[in-house]
Amino acid sequence: MSLLAKSPVRNFFAVDPFNIDKFFSDALQLWDMPNTLPAVNIHEDENSFRMEVASPGMDKSDFKVNVKDNMLIISAEKKSEKKEEEKNFTRREFNYSSFRRSFTLPENVDQENIKAEYTNGILHITVPKVKQESPSKGKTIEVV
């Protein structure tokens, strides 16, 4: 016996006429779009981590970048509303998009000097590393 994932696809031709509400709720579940997060590239060199967050169509004022409990939290929220009025009709369109990404920071970063810049649809974040002292060459400890 093997385990198989249950497919959400249902046969919509076999409609129970007494349960039409279930038919519509099942159909809407299939069309529900998954939550999409922007792609993030992370580059590391000896001095820093550089992050690129792809988020076209945003403004720099839409972003919030915070450090809390050793976590780098990047979030954005954009709302827009368009209203057209003419003699016979009024049309209002709303658009809302948001995301939130969190990254655990390693111990060797300088949290006080993280910088963010938004250009050409990409949020660039630079997380500098702390200069670590070179390990000592060794030491003899006297036993007393």
Residue 134: pLDDT band by 50, 70, 90 thresholds?
low
The pLDDT confidence band at residue 124, using thresholds 50, 70 and 90, is very high
Instruction: Work out the average pLDDT over 121-130.
Output: 93
Q: How far is CA 118 from CA 6, 114, 126, in A?
A: 42, 14, 12
Check pLDDT > 50 for residue 18.
Answer: yes
Report how far apart, in Å, the C-alpha atoms of 13 and of each of 10, 27, 122 are. Answer: 9, 12, 46
Could you tell me the CA-to-CA distances from 104 to 26, 79, 119 in Å, in that order? 38, 28, 24
Asked if residue 108 has pLDDT above 60, the reply is yes
pLDDT of residue 53: 93
Q: Indicate the pLDDT class of residue 81, thresholds 50, 70 and 90.
A: confident
Strands of the 48-54 sheet, one edge to the other: 40-44, 48-54, 122-128, 115-119
Query: What is the pTM (predicted TM-score) of this model?
Result: 0.62
Which class is domain 36-128? Answer: mainly beta
DSSP tag of 47:
S
Q: What is the mean pLDDT of residues 95-106?
A: 89
Query: What is the per-residue pLDDT for 22?
Result: 54
Is the pLDDT at 44 greater than 90? The verdict is yes
pLDDT top residue among 64 and 97: 64
- Per-residue pLDDT at 82: 82
CA–CA distance, 105 with 95 (Å, rounded to integer): 33
Q: Report the Cα 19 to chain-centroid distance in Å.
A: 38
Average pLDDT, the chain: 76
Token match 């159909």: residue? 27
- Residue matched to tokens 């004022």: 61
